[in-house]
Amino acid sequence: MPKAKKSRKFAVMKKMIKPTDSRIKPDDRVIIKKKKPDPHEQKVNEAPQCSSALFFQYNTQLGPPYRILIDTNFVNFAIKNKVDLVKGMMDCLYAKCIPYITDCVMGELERLGEKYRLALKTIKDPRIEKLPCVHKGIYADDCLVNRVTQHKCYIVATSDVDLKRRIRKIPGVPIMGVAQGRFFIERMPDAPQM
């Protein structure tokens, strides 16, 4: 009679020994005692510190002239859609805009090589102001998220889905994107929505 083949089981956890197992020496045994909550003790709820610039979800620090942080792929998408950075931002927001670019984004564009030389030439425009970075690491997305978390006066211009997801978790920070040959803004009070 042929022998039945045993198939391997995948994603099976190893069996764990309970802390009260008799095989564990009494000195090594850890007995977990659950503490009953005292009904007379005052409960402390910790809430994260909120920026004083926010009035509910409305950011009071946002106002003309708008300060816009530019991401690497936003520059590339603006070039693909044939939109001038500064003029497109002013057309979108109907006010004066000051585009900012960090050292991390500049470094990221320089590292992309010869293919992105037009994007590098575009951001060296004198109307775009440079922001120095003093942090460790060269990841531009972390730099932008940290800067926006500390100072709520910026609008973030990006086309990166992951970065947009991270910024949406920060209250009061609008996001600018590129679509259909023009810029659009999301989560901005009193702005025309697309």
pLDDT, tens digit, 9 for 90 and up, residues 25-84: 777 766 666 777 778 888 777 776 777 677 656 777 788 899 999 999 999 999 999 999
- Distance from C-alpha of 127 to C-alpha of 33, rounded to nearest angstrom: 65
124-131 contact pairs (CB < 8 A, 24+): 125/85, 125/86, 127/86, 127/99, 128/70, 128/85, 128/86, 128/99, 128/100, 128/101, 129/98, 129/99, 129/100, 129/101, 130/100, 130/101, 130/102, 130/103, 130/106, 131/69, 131/100, 131/101, 131/102, 131/103
- 4, two tokens: 């039945």
- Distance from C-alpha of 144 to C-alpha of 71, rounded to nearest angstrom: 8
The predicted pLDDT at position 12 comes to 66
CATH numbers and ranges of domains, the chain: 60-186 (3.40.50.1010)
Least confident of 2-6, 19-23, 170-174: 2-6
pLDDT at 133 over 50: yes
Among the listed residues 141, 132, 144, the one whose alpha carbon sits nearest the alpha carbon of residue 162: 141
- 183, two tokens: 């810029």
